[in-house]
Amino acid sequence: GEDVEQSLFLSVREGDSSVINCTYTDSSSTYLYWYKQEPGAGLQLLTYIFSNMDMKQDQRLTVLLNKKDKHLSLRIADTQTGDSAIYFCAELSSNTGKLIFGQGTTLQVKP
């Protein structure tokens, strides 16, 4: 079935780059998303990539997609303490239009 997996925790120092990885199973997914959840808040859409793209850059965020390996990554350049949050990878189910989420990666940014 459809499944999305992420590592649970990442710790980086302020100013370093963060790379959050995700794998998915539905090879027919058309869109893949990254959402950010700060404590007590909802899911904020960060960025997304269409499946016919390999890379998308949006200011400090770079999304890389390897369709062959069904691997998605989110790179945050110059990570700041304000980037500390849980980051969710999600794929759009091609059949149903629902989002299938990973378990979320907690990013801890140390000053």
Partner 1 sequence: EPEVTQTPSHQVTQMGQEVILRCVPISNHLYFYWYRQILGQKVEFLVSFYNNEISEKSEIFDDQFSVERPDGSNFTLKIRSTKLEDSAMYFCASSYSTGNNQPQHFGDGTRLSIL
Least spacing, CB of residue 14 vs partner 1, in Å:
27
Applying CB under 8 A, does 1 fall inside the site for partner 1?
no
Stretch that binds partner 1, among 19-27, 37-45, 58-66, 71-79 (CB under 8 A): 37-45
Q: Does 43 bind partner 1 (CB under 8 A)?
A: yes
**Cα–Cα distance for residue pair 3/23, rounded to 1 Å:** 8
What values do phi and psi take at 96, rounded to 5? -115, -15
Decide if residue 31 touches partner 1 (CB under 8 A): yes
| Residue with smaller CB distance to partner 1, 32 or 79 | 32
Report the distance separating Cα 14 and Cα 20, nearest Å: 15
- List interacting residues with partner 1 (CB under 8 A): 30-31, 33, 35, 41-45, 48, 50, 88, 90, 92, 96-104
